[in-house]
Amino acid sequence: MRPAHPTERAVGMEYYVSDTDGVGGRLRDDDEHFRVRELERFDTEPVDAPTNAYPHLVVRATLRGWDTNDFAARLSDALGVSRERVDWAGTKDKYAVTTQLFSIYGAAPDELPDIDGVDLEVLGRAGRGLEFGDLAGNEFELVVSDPDAPGNAATITDELHAFGGLDDQRFERTRGDEGVDTATRAIGVPNFFGQQRFGSRRPVTHEVGLAIARGDWEGAVLAYLGSPTDAEPEGTQAARAFVDDTRDWQAALDRFPNRLRYERSMLHELAEAGDEPDAETFRAALERVPSNLQRLFVHAAQSYAFNRMLSERLERGLPFDRPVAGDVVCFSDTDAPEGVVLPDTDRLQRVDERRVDSVTRHCERGRAFVTAPLVGTETELADGKQGDIERAVLDDLGLTPADFDLPGEFHSTGTRRAILVRTTLTRETEPLSLSFTLPKGSYATVVLREYLKVDPVHLG
């Protein structure tokens, strides 16, 4: 175990669990170097099924250089329908080749447009649109460009294999037709929330959420509008610094570029209120942003606390692959597609001294997972040593579960999340390539950070 990059430590990821130096390098030199394919569980009817019962057309889209939201907007515009008629199960990045399902209410196959960088395959029809729960996981195929020490990947794999508490039988090495070495081995890493959750270049989303949970609406607005970072253009840094220094909302509007439309929308709300906006006005300014971003603020605060809890568990030397007395575990989703081990956080059990051995056997077989909370109003904290960690982190952040009883989209009941994610990783040389599958909600970057050990801006 070794200290993480400072940017990662700022969002609660204090450590790498592998001691070996990273391979270095970077990702996404080319969109083809970052390929993601969704593993879904969504049944469709034939495309000629009656549209009154099955009004949603379901397509599989392979996107090159398209952010999911931008593609959905482009598709709805081309079809001449509301953006609200297009649904999907998971959001994907722009700088990648991604394959995922979309459903379009009321569309017909012959109406689908030709869009540059997009391949569409009609799968059939459905009685409802896609939802997040329809996503089971993602398959990743990634290339590391210009690694400094590619040979270190083998040792890192061994260390992550040991961290995951995995047996020594799941290991294969082959040599392809062109002499390319391929090694496959099961690994485990802490199931941190990746840097993208907080903002890769400006990690402040959780700071906004923490202020909201504390009832500090003004602090939340200032965290979003102000707080300049070196990763931003100089003009944007100056505009944010101006807000921090003056609180002159009207004058700030002249300084913020048009591309920062959410910031400008907040500033309009504040400028209309006059010189001294009250707490309700600051809340109204936050509510100017889309509802999914409002929820993301609070989710990022929960994610930061979760990362802190995992880092503290690492520091105290507690296992991730098996429980200790007081832990809360969840069990595997028996309906998950083949090849995906998916934790079901609706099936929870508190582990007392009598059950540690039996639950450990379930964990060894991939049937149970130790969890930590994403704290909300319905959260029940663990007992024992893990309970001590959860309470200590919340005390340090000045939070309680009741603090998430918030208005509107900011409200959260909370849930729990597995603290360890396991996968079978295939590694190839020349170029260094990594392939693996993760359950929904887990981040490829939490695997990749262990291998590259670079500034997270080179992971996203």
Give the residue numbers marked as catalytic. 93
Cα–Cα distances (Å) from 42 to 26, 302, 306, 335, in that order, read 34, 29, 30, 12
Question: What residues are paired with 172 via a beta bridge?
Answer: 184
CA-closest candidate to residue 370, choices 333, 405, 404, 419: 419
Question: Measured on CA atoms in the order 21, 27, 33, 37, is the torsion positive or negative?
Answer: positive
- The C-alpha atoms of residue 268 and residue 261 are separated, in whole angstroms, by 10
Identify which of 388, 369, 375, 389 has the alpha carbon closest to the alpha carbon of residue 328: 369
Structure tokens at 307: 């990362």
Dist. CA 265–CA 263, nearest whole Å: 5
Of the candidates 227, 218, 226, the one whose C-alpha atom is nearest the C-alpha of residue 283 is 218
Which is it for strands 97-105 and 34-40: parallel, antiparallel or unpaired? parallel
Q: What share of the chain is helix, strand, coil (3-state, %, to 5)?
A: 35, 25, 40
277 Rama sector, left if φ>0, alpha if ψ -120 to 50, beta otherwise: beta
Helix (H, G, I), strand (E, B) or coil at 293: helix
In degrees and rounded to multiples of 5, residue 180 shows phi and psi of -85, 125
Find tokens 């802490």 and name the residue: 190
The DSSP-derived string for 218-269 is: HHHHHHHHS---TTS-HHHHHHHHHHHHH--HHHHHHHS-TT-HHHHHHHHH
Query: For residue 347, how far is the Cα from the chain centroid?
Result: 22
Q: Report the distance separating Cα 388 and Cα 382, nearest Å.
A: 8
Q: Output the DSSP codes for 322-356.
A: S--TT-EEEEE-TTSPTT---EEEEEEEE--GGGH
Geometric angle at alpha carbon 150, from 147 and 151, rounded to 5°: 160
- Three-state secondary-structure class, residue 277: coil
User: At 295, phi and psi to the nearest 5?
Assistant: -65, -40
